[in-house]
Chains A and B, each alone.
Chain A
Amino acid sequence: MILLCATFFSVQSYAGESTEWSNAVYKRSISGVVIDDNGVPLPGGSVVVKGTTIGVLTDINGKFSIDVPDDATVLVVSFVGYLTKEVKIGNMTNIEVKLNADFKSLGDVVVVGYGTQSRALIASSMASVNSDQLKDRPSTSFTEALVGKVAGVQFQQTTGAPGGGFSVKIRGIGSITSNSQPLYVVDGVPIDNVISTSGVQFSQSTWTTSNGQQAQNPMASMNPNDIQSIDILKDAASTAIYGSRGSNGVVLITTKQGAVGKAVFSANVSTGIQTLDKKVDMMNLEEYVAMETQRRNYQWVLNGGNVAVAGRSLTDPNSVRTNNGYKIPVEFSDLSNFRGTDWQNELFQSAPMTSAQLSVSGGTGKTRYYLSGDLVNQDGIIINSGFKKFSLRTNVDAEITDKVKMGFKINPSYNISKMNQAGGYGGMVQSVLSMPPTYDAYNVDGTYAYYGPLYHYGDGTFDRNTYGSNTGNPIAISKVSEKTFDQIRLMSSAYISIDIIKHLTFKSSISTDINVFSYNQFDPSTVSAPGIATISGSLSSSRNISWVNENIFTYTNTFKEKHNLTVMGGVTEQKSYFEFHDMGANNFPNDVVHTLNAGMIWGGSQTKSENSMLSYLGRVSYDFDKKYLVSATVRSDGSSRFGSENRWGTFPSASVGWRVAQENFMKNVKAVSELKLRASYGISGNNNIGDYSSMGLVGSMNYTLGSGTGGQVNGLVQNSISNRILGWEQTTQTDIGMELGLFKNRVYLTADYYNSLTDGLLFAVPVPLITGFESSLQNMGSVSNEGIELSIDTKNVAKKDFQWNTNFNISFNRNNVESMGLTNSPITDGPRNFFNELAYRTEVGQPIGSFYGYVYEGVYKTQAEADAEMTVYTRDPAGVPTVRAMAGDIKYKDLDGNGIIDGNDQTIIGNSNPDFIWGLTNTLNYKGFDLGLTLQGVQGSTIMQGQMRNVYRFISGEERNYWKSEAEPGDGNTVNPGGMGLNRKVSAYWLRDGSFMRIKSLTIGYSLPAKLFGNSVSKARAFMAAENLFTFTRYSLYNPEVNSGEGDEYNNKTPGLDYGGYPLARTITFGLNVSF
């Protein structure tokens, strides 16, 4: 415990003499020591004379010395994580104060929207993670450190790209089209997450598709070491105060503050290595050659279609085959002709990462400060990818008079991501998984290979394929194509807080977030074969400037000692301004200069948009004797994004709680230290749509007219459909919870049941194409999420030298579409970024974005079996089958029994949602040693393995047992790679179990005894940390948490798709934490 807390207090503790907080006149001096119930001194504890501001902090040895006024009678001694104690002074001059650990501290104050509250007095559902739980992780983003720690929140690391995006879903998906990521609020400032929610012309998906890279993590600029605490608001009663942006949950981040006292310096440095956590089993050279031979034979017979051509045979010699693509290369007969490239070895690498965080904090007189710097340098496990980050933070607070406080925070940061397109169509991961081992990455002379092997056909013909136009040599592209994405961000805020009259405070703040992104790409001539002029470059950049002004009145008072009342009310307004420009050039004369000035600019554009919001909000919290708790909030938001007729939305909520354990009749039940029953109900909203979404927009589309070569004439066309009645998406949520603390809270159980209904979904409804458009944004339909969350914290061992804590949490969520507009017609959609196939359906009675396709029943082992089924693909008008399945083709279920496999046989074949998710964290401290272990689990999720679309050239080991002939039908579940038929259709053949258990993190540390350094060093700890150490799963590709549609506007309708993605890295890091 000491060690845990030592870290926590490293920024506040100091060595040497105590420092006074007050200039009162001293009459006498009292000294003493503060220890825990095991006799361990508590450094950094607070000792205050009751009813005054006179106080000191304890030193490194838990000792203090304080001068108190003559009339002082009581000292209040407190320490976070311990029960506060009041000590009568009497005539004592030397006091030993023993504090009892409070495993779920009643004094624990948590941040709620627009204020703070005692955790014990909150009747809504929220979770908190403090810096203690985030400490010493080498992660570059705090989100990674939250994985597995919070019930009801699904953190998905969908990409391993350095600086890459992270999916956070709080209590399921309540929105079909809109973004379902939570709102982030840093130090009270709602963050406009530009990359994920932005204007019409530019969205996260634009970045994703235009540069082919997974979404970036908008919170990557945050230094995890700056975070004091993270509070996650889950139910509507807590999120409704954020009104229109609360329905996906709210993540409140509080950064560190200095404490009055001597400056405390703290340094964390770490260095480590990342490796691919798992290599995919692929066919070897011999297996590939056998498969390719079969494929060519069948393609010859099937003539590229799905009907055997009369007179053709699998064994026809090359000389009669009409196209080289159908002939068998002579080289196949001797495998020593090939080097047998292991493409994964070429693409992946071991990559170093280093990080350093330095901070200094303290305070003098009435001013407190916290300064920090953060430096991260990380290479990616895919060649030519990486991430660098530099950030600074200054937090300053000052008491100007006894009634006025001011402060400011400034946080500039600069991130640079070196990118390599990992996912999606043409992505490197998909490329290496389908690149034959007969192809070389390099020629013998070490230059990049741009041509496949030279194939001779023994009949005088030969050919040499170039690497496909769309893919190319993935290694050459990876190494020579330059793609960098950088972000410059300046977040700053300033506030003034005035105690207007007793009990009434007014706080006004203004915050700005200036965010500049730019993306540069340069493809030199060496991207493709010599002679093919493809030198090109592009640049796109955006600026997002937003400001928020908040003005909040807070009234707090206690009446007749037992009636505690807090009333908060305020007005906020905010505006965001967005600008995007891009430019492209080609015809570069050579590869020397990589900036666009060297080429010929062929085009560019610029767009701007803005949005604004005006809000009125209020909250009343009341408790009687800290036993009966009532709270109500209301917020009214007006947003420029909605139609003039539905611009304003009102979001009320209420919660009630009863702390049963405080009742007299429970006093005798010693074992129960806390028993709280709570219930809440509220409405929150969602406005995560593009600017001007309610308006039909007209955009330019130019044409050429005029004689000769003609000239450009400007044209305008309507790009979208108007919807003047577009309004808020609203989520109504009921939460019933219970908290039970046993044995002085050594065992603390939290259980919640919730039921939410999201209505008026903001939905880009596919409309018949006869309208001229593909979709229209409408409010329609409703979705429910129902779930149970359980979390249990135990303090298994609490001895002086040995402490062992465990947290286990598990969450169950059921997502169900309740209605879909007036007709309840299902919506069938496709991952259009990846393939033009309708693979998802959203339908009443099913989860959002269920997989949609054919029912798969293995493959036909024999032609007789295929014929007997009478399963055909087409019939002529007389009903005679014209095209039918062949042996080795997939056997689809003929759902309507009409003897034809067609669109009527598609149905919902599964969904990606897990049955439950869980996390288990154990923390052990033994003397100087500490150990932390976090397991993360997902059970019952399903993945759509999109590579199966390339069934005829996908060469993973999973396909090894394919249908070879009637005599060798393989495992009965794997198609003939040479067959065509309907084998490429979306079906359950593509679905895989995505369940997994991951050793998310393992940390082992040792702290040197403080006395080794005398008083000069308060902490010195060395640690080893491992992230993503091992994943137990049956999924055969890289990451069972993959979601290739991440960041895609269709994301919520197309979840759980694996179409290539940046694999996760296993990271082993060594580091030091030092404070002095």
Chain B
Amino acid sequence: MSEPFAAAGQPVIRAAPRVLALAVPDLALQRGLRSRPGGGPLVLCEEGQVVQASAVARAAGVRPGDSLVQARAACAGLEALPLDRAADHKALQGLAEAMLVLAPAVEVGEEALLLDASAAAVGVSANAAGERRPSPFVASVESGRPLPQGEGCPSLESEARLAGRALEMARRLGYQANAAVADGKGPARALARSAAGGTLVVPPGETARAMAALPLEALELPAAALARLAAVGIRGVGALQALPPEALVHRFGLPGAEAVRLARGEDRRPLVPYLPEALPEEWWDCDAAVENAEPLLFGLRRLAERVAARLAGRGLGATRLRLRLALDPRGEERLFFPLARPSAAAAGWLLLLRERLGELRLGAPVTGLWLAAVEVAEAPPEQLAIGDRPEVARALEVVLSRLAARLGEAALFAAEPADRHRPEAAYRAVSFRPNGRNGARPSPSGRGHSDSAEATRGEGVCPTATPAATPAGIRPTRLLDPPRPVVAEGEGGRLTALRLDGRAFPVLCLAGPERLAGEWWSQRFDRDYYRVRLEGLGDAWVYRDGLDGRLYLHGLFD
């Protein structure tokens, strides 16, 4: 425990902070109802069972625990949504971002937000970026209402107003919540979750009394401790408060001590502020609409330096950049820049940016620029070895950028062998890596990864499989997607030529078959592959499809 110490070495007994807890009961259900103004019967379900039911559904006899089939039988027109806890948490984060205008620190808990109520009366709050700006709450106080007595100790009235504003803001955003202000975040959260509705403001020092009426479950103790306390007949917080504190510590260790603190309203833990996890984006407004590249490159240099500096400070490098150009009078152009390796070097980025901007033909002047790192990875320090040629990597980045510009991003990937029999699925698309040393993989999609080649080509990906060996058979260097139908020409039962797109290619020799079949569980295939040497075309990989009986050219051996 790191308690602050006074200069004389005496520990300072820190009072529990005043915390406003905003509990959002049945958050998933509320989220669902928010987008359904009609208010029809709605349930949230998981594994075919109802977890939460709206009032309309409950009125029709639907209960949590019912099977979905039972619920549908009980309630006509019932709509069912799957439970999505990640989305719930995200929604709570969104609410927390909005609450940042009311409090300097907001913690995102489970189905509850915790707002620092201590600073409400001081008159300032901080936004996510750390910039201090006047608090709207303080502004309203200053507009005629009495200030609290005593500096740094907000009055109950102002706390109630803070709670009211928080509830109102939640309501505007579509959520019904319960609020409680109390000493310490644990008690505040327990009181808010147990509140039947509206606002509860517990005066400083009175939290223990307010807690006494709650059931023991409100303390959210570990299940084992809760069961043991129930076994000795302790079912409410009030009964727990009556026990000798040391007795609980003896018996339950840290959870026991924690329970005592919560029950007495002595939770001194600070809030864990929510920091939005966003990738850096910088913008630049042109003074006037720009029609050629040179002024844009000037602005771009500044943007690139800022974004790169922010990334570098976090030890990250961009693997993909996005440049948005605002057009006059409206509209925008978006450009993406894949990088060959994670990089936080602005100079390197500018090579690509200049290349693309030089070739760009815009329909309107540009009024502003936004540059963002939309995909990042950890950028380990790089040390060049003797013989390394960094200029080659830079040249490759230029090539990649050109290819992406000409063919589209989806066409640019590297192929790794995949453990599948079906030839067209026997590889998987991965980010192009010019060499093995810069092998840091892009961050997960939650940190800015978007429509990459992996997403579109991920069918054959097997994350847990061991790296696949090369297929036993020799495979063509070029695979046609889709395979091209060919027609066999023969004589006396012997194949003499294959006709492709109306042109006949004489068959010089033929080997096979290699029989590949399977995947009956999804898209069954059954093919006999032959390696056929065709005059004028070289060695070709041709198969007879066992399902439709036709011949297809699937690849070419170069």
A, B assembled together? no
